[in-house]
Structure 1
């Protein structure tokens, strides 16, 4: 196992985007003599991570020669997860091999095979291939081992919603960057996320969006949302948003031309645009420009007419893009 992982680390590639040090709770140490595992063991903020590394049998690997970069979730980050991955005691008690394998895959999604410090990271948005082996389904490779690393004036983010809270915690075999969320590898395309949400028995969502996408006139948009090779951003209106648009009328009352014009305004076809990438101004969608405006700690998006939509839930990572849930339909 160690040889395999070291080979993966050595082969991993990256182009990175930025880093800030915003947190004094985890203090970087100059000229370290301890490896990554030892540094984590000596810091109470990483006790859950240490338990996870031990349970996943990655301690020997991450104590090796490296070099490695580890985006390290703090205890508070793990506490946001559901049991049994939410604290050190629960993780230590795991005996199910499937859960251990899941944990190992999650941890490898936090590891790069080079020593990347804050000064090495350039401004802008970029990607990094992690040590997690990419999955395959039906012979096709699934993009579930890539990190997206946008940087703006407020800091460094990973996959849009996770922030580097302390950079450059040095170790003898690499660098630790503390982060405020556990990074979860994506497992579904955007189309699959919409379909799964719509089919939930409790609290289904996106049922009207799914109906709209399944109309023959929207075939090209549905194809993009379902393609494993796509790289798109989708603003996904809730059912309440569609009902506000339709009133008492059924979705079938919207003409094919109008439906296509509306749905096209919800898709950015040129890549993943995370909430941390957004800025006041205009963004080009498949159907033309939309206006982005600051609103409190977030942003609104608006088409040519209609009410501006709030981003209710941001940065839902898919294997082929990213989804932002919005509370109004964007109108042409």
Structure 2
């Protein structure tokens, strides 16, 4: 309970809801065709207020309405083109998320507004229109992070894989498709937390955790971008708040193992005794500075490192709950290069325990075995499904090799 509440606070507390929130555009960035439904004449606000099982979330809505946007008025709107989909945790789900009555009463307006805004999708969506494809279907929410870019919103991801309706990683629960004059309500098993308000690059750049940190990945990205105007293309993509990426992030231990082995074999091929080669390789690979060692530029050229790194990137956000239960290949950013358009990509697989992922793997085309995704979705210290404004990070225990 406390962990889930901390996850939500980590995502929401730094959030500043722009003054232009909901003012300029009612449509999500990404849309799909919605089946025509009969409107009941009862507004979303009246529907929420009338359901005693939704009373705790409605209290959060009323707190949020003291901020920039009055959600009570918004949900009472009868304007024909103002329709919304609300993701609503019932009272049991609110308690499971750590929001007791006392916690709700003490929730700051800005925090409540961040949660309610993220769970307000400016479009009517029926669950029948949510597909089972990979990756999750992307929709815009009612959080506009910048008043200078009013058409860019924080995104939410809807999915029906593997046969379970979800918003991001959170399962939907009954009742679903609760229809009102101005939208739908879908119930969820917990509060769907907004992304942490930092970029993927900032996350990578700051992670110096022993063994499972990302200092080698940071150094590899800078090596891949060397020779380009700073920030280089990879770093710029990871800094771009409007991007939509998945990063399979090899840990420091994973990079050390790969580099030590590769350097050892190279030295043996040059005539070094195996023991000497292994010791020398271990010293060279002991620091992320290995990527800046001129003696290794031939093997670790910017082009080579870039080719390896783009194998670790999807141009979509993919949570582990959206992975297939049968190993399946998917293209990566490497496939956007015409020379590698037919590359098999990487192979994903997840093992499910009920609606949750208990294990997941990803395998590069040239890896002898699959890499494990380190499953731990805790927001502050986790290693999988780490959700940021421009995508998600999954830490893995091997470097993925394209060829």
**TM-score normalised by L of structure 2:** 0.63
**Is 2:213 the counterpart of 1:205?**
yes
Conserved? CA contact 2:44–2:183, under 8 Å: yes
Q: Which residue in the other structure is 2:87 paired with? A: 71
- Counterpart for residue 21 of structure 1: none
Q: Does the CA contact (< 8 Å) of 1:8 and 1:131 recur in 2?
A: no
How far apart are residue 104 of structure 1 and its match? 0.8
SS in 1 for 2:348: strand
Contact 1:52 1:88 in 2 (8 A): no
Q: Which runs of 5+ in 2 are unaligned?
A: 1-19, 66-70, 227-231, 261-281, 292-298, 335-342, 375-382
- How many angstroms does 1:103 deviate by? 1.9
Aligned to 2:346: 290
Deviations 1:230-274 (A, max 9, x none): 332210123343344345432444642353343232112x33333
Shift in CA distance, 14/205, structure 1 to aligned 2, threshold 3 Å = same
Q: Counterpart of 2:338?
A: none
Match of 2:139 among 120, 128, 142: 128
**What are the ranges of 5 or more consecutive residues in structure 1 without an aligned counterpart?**
19-29
Find the counterpart in structure 2 of residue 24 from structure 1.
none
Count of residues in correspondence between the two structures: 305
Cα distance change, pair 194–48 in 1 and its aligned pair in 2 (3 A): farther
Contact 1:9/1:112 (CA < 8 Å) preserved in 2?
Answer: no
Residue 266 (structure 1) aligned to one of 276, 299, 312: 312
2:367 is matched with which residue? 305
Deviation readout 1:72-114 (Å, 9 max, x if unpaired): 13345445657xxx333212134xxxx3123213211211334
Q: 2:58 aligns to what SS in structure 1?
A: helix
Q: Secondary structure at the match of 1:61?
A: helix
Q: Which residue of 1 aligns with 2:75?
A: 62
RMSD between superposed Cα atoms in Å:
3.6
Matched-pair contact (CA < 8 Å) for 2:214–2:250: yes
SS of 2:234's equivalent?
Answer: helix
**Per-residue deviation, residues 169-222 of structure 1 (Å, max 9, x unmatched):** 233443210112323333222111212334x8x998323322322335564322
Query: What secondary structure, in the 3-state scheme, does the structure 2 residue paired with 1:150 have?
Result: strand
SS in 1 for 2:207: helix
**Higher Cα Rg, which structure:** 2
Does the residue aligned with 1:263 lie in a helix, a strand or coil?
Answer: helix
Greater fraction strand: 1
Aligned partners of 1:272 and 1:321 also within 8 Å: yes
What SS does structure 1 have at the residue aligned with 2:331?
Answer: strand
SS at match of 1:305: coil
TM-score between the two structures when normalised by the length of structure 1: 0.75
For structure 1, which segment, 250-259 or 276-285, has the greater mean C-alpha deviation from structure 2 after superposition? 250-259
Counterpart position of 2:61: 53
Is 1:325 the counterpart of 2:341? The answer is no
Distance 1:88 1:38, change over 3 A: farther
Q: Closer, same or farther in 2 for the Cα pair 1:63/1:88, shift >3 Å?
A: farther
Q: Using the alignment, how far apart are the partners of 1:37 and 1:48 within structure 2? A: 14
Residue 55 (structure 1) shift: 0.8
Q: CA deviation at 1:43?
A: 4.0
Q: CA deviation at 1:149?
A: 2.2
In 2: Cα distance, 1:329 partner to 1:234 partner: 12
| 1:179 matched residue in structure 2 | 188
